[in-house]
Amino acid sequence: MRLKITFLLILFSFSVSLSAQTDTTNVHIPWRWDRLSLAAFYQSGKVMPTNIFVKGSNANSVVLDDYQMFSLKLSSQSTGDHLWEQLCNYPNWGVAVSVIDFFDRAEIGVPIGINGFISAPFFRIDRLSLNYDLGFGITFNWKSFNPITNQYNVAIGAGQAFMSNAGLHLEYALTNHVDIGVGFGFSHFSNGAIKLPNFGINVIAPKVSMKYNFYERPKFVKHEIPKFNSNNEWVFSAFAGMKNVIYDSLNVTLSERYKGMFFPVYGFSALFNRRISYASKIGIGMTINYNESVNAQVAVDNGQIVDIDGLLLNGFQVSIYPSYEICADKISLVLQPAFYVLRKASKNLSPTFHQRIMIKYHITDNIFAGITLRDYSLHADFVEWTVGYRISK
């Protein structure tokens, strides 16, 4: 139930951010219903060998390296009603529904995905454009790990999982209403280690598309771009999350053992940014967090796993990182390659080098909320639910 509520909150918050874009005058701007498109995408490619399950440690002892996905995307095309649309080269954004097939339905199932996405061109030459695609959402209908009935699937530990994807595609306007495209994309499926085991699944695949636009080719509005003045800002945020730990060696039932223990993770971040363009910022930051799972001690009481209070100081961790932020109106994507510089040595520590990938939405000019995935080597560590405040000159 905790997982279902979590994923429903993600879907709701992402839907709100897509349908409630605002400009600096706080005028509500719904997406353009007179600029709608419907596209069909198909991709077929390879599963990356990043865990033992896909490498062949499964019920059939075969390598799971084939993958296909069919998607329907409903999108709205921006035309330059606001300056940020021109600065981002007139993107389109919307919602996609996908059916995913890993050709192992007995152990993985046929997941269904719902995600928000944004797509924008690097350049346009007459009818041809080279576009980048970014998407984030949730997936359902997985046949997840079960210690009794599905013990090999260590890739996905819950019936729901996050889906993130990025890619490039070349699009050609075949007629006034029809576009065709080819490209490739990378997708990552993981529940963010909300429930273990969770080694995740990573795929890379070429893709083809056909899009029908319910409108004539738009004329893009050209604004006079004000002179850009770089500025600095301080960003302060607090976060909380949950980390699941499984103790294989305890003498309890399989179901109790693989339910594991849930430990809170929370912390505080400070970041100094400098805006280097209308659409990007660079900076350097530091995070101090408390991870209760570090050096946690557990015992068995009446067949159930219980935790024993450990030393408080053992759970504190400090990390530093450079930061790069891509901005599109109220939504930002933040990339932070991070390093732990202070933490208690213990068994099964995650690597010193890790990554923080954040999607955030500015509720006001200064207040924001976000979701951050902290991972390492394409494996999720935990998810940070973040609120923050920025001070900008």
- Percent of the chain exceeding pLDDT 90 equals 66
Least Cα distance to 52 among 186, 199, 157, 188 occurs for 199
How far apart CA 225 and CA 83 sit, in angstroms, is 8
Q: CA of 15: how far to CAs of 9, 21, 108, 255, 365, in Å?
A: 10, 11, 27, 35, 20
The pLDDT score that the predictor gives to residue 240 is: 96
Question: At residue 108, does pLDDT exceed 90?
Answer: yes
The domain limits of the chain are: 2-7+25-213, 232-392
CATH class of 232-392: mainly beta
Q: Measured over all CA atoms, what is the biggest interatomic distance in the chain, rounded to whole angstroms?
A: 72
Single-letter amino acid code for the residue at 261: M
Phi, psi of 233 (to 5 degrees): -150, 150
At residue 13 the predicted structure's pLDDT band, cuts being 50, 70 and 90, is very low
Q: What is the pLDDT of residue 328?
A: 84
Q: Write down the pLDDT at residue 4.
A: 46
Could you tell me which residue, 129 or 294, shows the higher pLDDT? Answer: 129
Q: What's the pLDDT score for residue 15? A: 41
Per-residue pLDDT at 347: 75
pLDDT confidence band for 165 (50 / 70 / 90): very high
pLDDT at 218: 85
The answer to whether 2-7+25-213 and 232-392 have equal CATH topology is yes
What's residue 252's pLDDT?
81
Residue 110 has pLDDT above 90, yes or no: yes
Could you tell me which of 201, 190, 207, 234 has the C-alpha nearest to residue 48? Answer: 201
Preceding amide of 197 cis, omega within 30: yes
For 342-363, what is the mean pLDDT?
90
- Position 310 scores a pLDDT of 66
How large is the average pLDDT for residues 122-143? 94
Query: What's the rounded mean pLDDT across residues 60-68?
Result: 95
20: pLDDT strictly greater than 60: no
Q: Flag whether pLDDT at 47 surpasses 80.
A: yes
Q: What pLDDT is attached to residue 17?
A: 41
Q: Which CATH number fits domain 2-7+25-213: 1.20.1250.20, 2.40.160.20, 3.40.640.10, 3.65.10.10?
A: 2.40.160.20
pLDDT for res 260: 82
Lowest mean pLDDT among 19-33, 246-260, 326-340: 19-33
pLDDT at 282: 98
Share of the chain above pLDDT 70, in %: 91
Q: Which residues contact 184 (CB under 8 A, 6 or more apart)?
A: 43, 45, 167, 168, 169, 204, 205, 206, 207
Q: What's the pLDDT score for residue 31?
A: 56
Taking the C-alpha atoms of residue 106 and residue 27, their distance in angstroms, rounded to an integer, is: 50
Assess whether pLDDT exceeds 60 at residue 222.
yes
State the pLDDT at residue 61: 95
Q: Does position 360 have pLDDT exceeding 90, yes or no?
A: yes
From the CB of residue 81, how many other CB atoms can be counted at a distance below 10 Å?
A: 13
Mean pLDDT value across the chain:
88
